[in-house]
Amino acid sequence: MRKVMLALTLLFLGTGLYAQGGLKVGIQGGMPFDDFNDEVSLVVGLDLGYMWTLGEVIDLGVTTSFIHGFAETFHTDVVLTDLSDVQFGTAAAAVRIWTSNSFSIGVEAGQAFGINEGNDGGLYLRPLVGYLMGPNTEVNFSYTSISLEDKTWTTVNFGILHTFQLKKRY
């Protein structure tokens, strides 16, 4: 099922590249808390998505991302623990509501696929708030939640997103 969802998302993303709209490429950084607070020190991510404008207020699209959590390092006389990095690839649907010309709220929801050993992934949810700093550059704050089998991956993130306007091919 996960492979089918990933294939459909990539198909829609690839098909959308020939339509008129916006290809979004971004980077994010964040801090974990709750279940992974002691295991992961810092989180970085790469985002890729395509949004279709449904009017002046609503955008719909598909997104994919790579999330990498760097393992916390403990080296003292008492504790010596080797933890592994945590990695996810995500495929999701996205919606954005523009409350003004430069301010948006939105959510991405889909599936996170675990990349590192012992990580099966889970349900992916990322609400966000964005501010358009120029015609094609946005900064955003987001909360990421991935429901794993016995834990929940939760992070607070800051990101920068750039939109590339694509033209129709005839």
pLDDT in tens, the chain (170 residues): 566 555 555 555 444 433 345 899 999 999 999 898 888 989 999 999 999 999 889 999 999 999 999 998 765 555 556 788 999 999 999 999 999 989 999 999 999 999 999 899 999 999 999 999 988 999 999 999 999 998 999 999 999 999 998 765 55
SS3 of 2, please? helix
How far is 153 from 112, CA to CA, in rounded Å?
10
Q: What is the pLDDT of residue 168?
A: 58
Token code pair at residue 136: 């094609």
Q: What is the pLDDT of residue 37?
A: 86
Q: What is the pLDDT of residue 75?
A: 55
pLDDT digits (tens, 9 = 90+) for 92-133: 999 999 999 899 999 999 999 999 998 999 999 999 999 999
Instruction: Name the pTM for this structure.
Output: 0.82
Contacts of 116 (CB under 8 A, 6+ apart): 84, 85, 86, 87
| Among the listed residues 29, 108, 34, 107, the one whose alpha carbon sits nearest the alpha carbon of residue 69 | 29
Q: Residues 119, 125, 128, 134: what is their CA dihedral angle, to the nearest 10 degrees?
A: 70
Say what percent of the chain tops pLDDT 90: 64
φ/ψ (deg, to 5) at 19: -95, 170
Residue 118, CA distances (Å) to 25, 33, 149 in order: 29, 20, 11
Q: Does domain 2-17+28-166 have CATH number 2.40.160.20?
A: yes
Q: What is the pLDDT of residue 38?
A: 84
